[in-house]
Amino acid sequence: MRVVVVGGDARAHVLAHVLSRSADDVVVSGGNAGTPNAVASPPEELDGDLFVISPEKPLVAGLADRLRAQGKRVYGPGVDGARLEGSKGWMKQLVAKAGVPTAQHATFSDAALALDFLRTMKPPFVVKTDGLADGKGVLVTESLIEAEDDVKAKLAGASFGEAGRTVVIEEGMAGPELSVLAVCDGHRAVLLSPAQDFKRAYEGDNGPNTGGMGAYSPVPIAGDDLLGVVMDRFVEPTLAALRAEGIDYRGTLYGGLMLTPDGLKLVEYNVRFGDPEAQVVLPRLSSDLVDLLATAADGALSDHEPTFISDAAVCVVGATPGYPESPRTGAVIDSLDAIDDVPGTVVFCAGVDRDSEGRLVTAGGRVLSIVGFGPTIATARDRAYEGVRRVGFAGMQYRNDIAAAAAKEETDT
Ligand code: AMP
Ligand code: GLY
Strand order in the sheet with 2-7: 38-39, 25-30, 2-7, 50-53, 74-75
pLDDT at 391: 96
- Residue 269's nearest CA partner among 293, 239, 299, 305 is 239
Tell me the pairing of strands 74-75 and 50-53: parallel
Instruction: Tell me the best of 258, 259, 262, 275 to mutate to test the pocket of ligand 1, counting ligand atoms within 8 Å of each CB and taking the most.
Output: 258
Relative to the alpha carbon of 176, which ligand is closest? 1
Q: Which stretches of the chain score pLDDT less than 50?
A: none
Q: CA 16, 346, 394: angle at the middle one, nearest 5?
A: 110
Instruction: Tell me the best of 57, 270, 280 to mutate to test the pocket of ligand 2, counting ligand atoms within 8 Å of each CB and taking the most.
Output: 270
Q: Which atom of ligand 2 is nearest to the CA of 277?
A: 1
Residue 56 has φ and ψ, to the nearest 5°, of -75, -30
Strand order in the sheet with 105-108: 105-108, 167-170, 125-129, 138-141
Distance (Å, rounded) from C-alpha 399 to C-alpha 404?
A: 10
Give the DSSP letter of residue 334: P
In tens, the pLDDT along 267-308 reads: 999 999 999 999 999 999 999 999 999 999 999 998 789 999
Categorise residue 299: left if φ over 0, alpha if ψ from -120 to 50, beta otherwise: left
pLDDT at 330: 96
Say if ligand 1 is within 6 A of residue 138 CB: yes
Relative to the alpha carbon of 91, which ligand is closest? 1
Ligand 2 pocket, CB under 6 A: 135, 197, 211-212, 270, 274-275, 277
Strand order in the sheet with 250-260: 189-191, 177-185, 250-260, 263-270
pLDDT above 70 covers a percentage of the chain that reads 100
Distance (Å, rounded) from C-alpha 284 to C-alpha 231?
A: 21
Protein residue closest via CA to atom 15 of ligand 1: 267
pLDDT at 52: 98
In angstroms and rounded to an integer, the radius of gyration of the C-alpha atoms of the chain is 20
pLDDT at 302: 83
- Tell me, what amino acid is at 257? L
pLDDT at 136: 84
